[in-house]
Amino acid sequence: MKYHALLLSASGPNNAKFSKLYGTCNDAQALKVLLPQKFPNIHIKEGHDLEEGQAKDKIKDFLQELQDNDRALLYFSGHGDFAQNPDAVRPHDHRECLIFNKGNIFDTELHDMFKEHLAHKENVRVYFMADCCFAGGFNEGYGPEFKDGKRYTFTLKGRNMGYREQLLTSLKRTLKFQKVIPMNFSDLENIVYLSATARRRKAFESPFFSEDNVTIRGNFTILFEKVFTEQPNDSLDDIFQKIKKEIQASGLEHKKKQQIPEINPLASSAFRLLE
């Protein structure tokens, strides 16, 4: 089993084109530093300030290179939207999408790529982490189901606060494929809530958000550590139970904003819990 990561961001170093999202490349590059600390032999690729076609090529090449039993992280940091689906069969349908310099990648397109390049491979897991707004559709049952009945994508959803109920409904809809008991609402806030909207524009208030995004990043590393270091025979139910146990043990569910200690936004609170 080998580890791989493809880190994509909407902006590039010193690029003001995406002025509201100028820091997205910093997040991807911070992960580039963090990942080898836990996975010394991880194979990392990255792409910043891309057009739609360039991003698709990178994703396809990345998926094609995966071998049986590999574990991979596909991470996108940037902007997401809810836009008209280019599918001619449903010309008026609107779907979630990732936004690049020119063009979008829709949830259905991404899952088609997963299915095309992973369906014939054995026990490959790809964890897609959408650190952006409007990432809900990536997790709403459109993911590929292969011959063993497993789904090989797990999406961290970036929803703004107005979509909490949809977040919960969408997660339940996905988890039922794995016969997983959905986590309660406080767990969802702690574990799954990665929102570029809240993170970059500081537009919302929550006891689980801090000014410098400490909580989001701290809980992100807890989740990432748990799912990415799974044992080959672990079911998603096992993984989620481990995550829930660690969150409850850490006390993060009950901490208030002012009580959260200052840590490096991408520091490994999860690693600390596991020591």
Q: What is the pLDDT along the chain (275 residues), one digit of tens a residue?
A: 888 889 888 777 765 454 445 567 776 777 787 778 777 888 999 998 888 899 999 999 999 998 987 877 788 877 777 677 666 555 556 667 788 878 888 877 877 787 778 777 777 767 666 666 655 445 443 333 333 433 333 333 333 323 333 333 333 333 332 222 222 222 222 223 233 232 332 322 222 223 333 333 333 444 444 445 555 455 545 655 665 565 455 544 444 333 333 333 332 322 232 22
Helix (H) or strand (E) holding 125: strand 125-131
AA identity, residue 272: R
In this prediction, residue 174 carries a pLDDT of: 36
Nearest to 111 by CA among 146, 138, 75, 140: 138
Instruction: Judge whether 45 and 57 are in contact, CB under 8 Å.
Output: no
155 and 138 in contact (C-beta within 8 Å)?
yes
Whole-number pLDDT of residue 59: 94
Q: Find the length of the chain.
A: 275
Question: In Å, what is the CA distance from 33 to each residue of 37, 91, 183, 195, 199?
Answer: 7, 42, 31, 22, 20
pLDDT at 72: 78
CA 107 vs CA 74, 117, 141, 223: distances in Å? 14, 16, 11, 22
Q: Which amino acid is at 169?
A: T
For residue 215, the number of C-alpha atoms closer than 13 Å in the C-beta half-sphere is 28
Residue 170: partners with Cβ closer than 8 Å, 6 or more residues away: 136, 139, 140, 157
Q: What is the pLDDT of residue 100?
A: 83
Closest by Cα among 136, 140, 180 to 156: 136
Say how many C-beta atoms besides its own lie within 10 A of residue 91's C-beta. 9
Which residue type sits at 203? A
Looking at residue 33, what is its pLDDT?
76
DSSP annotation of 85 reads -
C-alpha distances in angstroms, 219 versus 78, 187, 191, 241, 269?
19, 10, 6, 15, 8
Instruction: Output the pTM of the full model.
Output: 0.59
What single-letter DSSP state applies at residue 151? B
Q: Which pair of tokens denotes residue 215? A: 């909580």
pLDDT score recorded for residue 151: 37
Q: Is the dihedral of CA 206, 242, 141, 76 positive or negative?
A: positive
Distance CA 273, CA 222 (A): 8
Radius of gyration of the chain (CA): 17
